[in-house]
A = this chain, B = another copy of it.
Amino acid sequence: MRSDSQAAGQKPRSFIEDARRAQIVTSAVETLAEHGYAGTSLARIATRVGISKGVISYHFAGKDELIEQLVEQIYGRISAFVAPEVKREQTVVRRLAARFRALANYASTHRAEMVALTEIFNNLRDSNGQLRYGDGYNEDLYQQLEEEFRAGQATGELRSFDTRVMAVTAQAAIDAMIAYSDTNPDHDIGAHASELALLFEHAIKAPTTAPPQET
């Protein structure tokens, strides 16, 4: 959460510089959300801010750097929002539920950011044609989730299952929740998150032989 991407020994950015960059990133987010990846040209981003195309090239090395900045910033904000919510809970099941809930909250109040992020993840490629955010970025999330699951399995809270498949599926459930509520604005994403919590509770909890439930 500090001075995003500023190689050491670099001259620090001025205030106005930072303001412009933020302004441009915001415009890029909105443009991506509205027109999709292919429909997002520098011209469109610039027009939305009311500046000339050249300004963007001036502040960013190129379209790619702009987008990378965007991803870093949004990603940072989401983590900052979700992490404390998760940490506060005591069991794996509840932590997972908290994750669903927090992301649903964030997504419902930052729709454009989520859409923009998805567009980029699905489309941005490096010069070799490989997806820029193909796997590495999800890998982080997968490992966090797997760690949780393994811990829960160790304590006996959770049944035995393939943690990687579960992580992939849980993350997919989150992404789908966000995408679905994005194309169906009337959808109750909060309820969706609760349902997911219950779904995965059933899916991962160890069967309680004798005594009843707690939840």
Contact between A38 and B123 (Cβ–Cβ < 8 Å)?
yes
Q: Which of A34, A161, A168 has the most CB of B within 10 A?
A: A168
The answer, yes or no, to whether A144 is at the interface (CB within 8 Å) is no
Among B39, B118, B176, which residue has its beta carbon within 8 angstroms of that of A169? B176
A24 vs chain B, min Cβ distance (A):
21
The answer, yes or no, to whether A143 is at the interface (CB within 8 Å) is no
A112 vs chain B, min Cβ distance (A):
14
Among B119, B165, B180, which residue has its beta carbon within 8 angstroms of that of A195? B165
A58 vs chain B, min Cβ distance (A):
11
Contact with B along A190-215 (1 / 0, CB 8 A): 01100110111011100000000000
Contact between B172 and A175 (Cβ–Cβ < 8 Å)?
yes
Kindly list chain B residues whose C-beta atoms are within 8 Å of the C-beta of A172. Answer: 169, 172-173, 175-176
| A window 164-182: CB within 8 A of B | 165-166, 168-169, 171-173, 175-177, 180
| Other contacts beyond A135-B184, A169-B196: 4, CB < 8 A | A162-B192, A165-B195, A169-B172, A202-B202
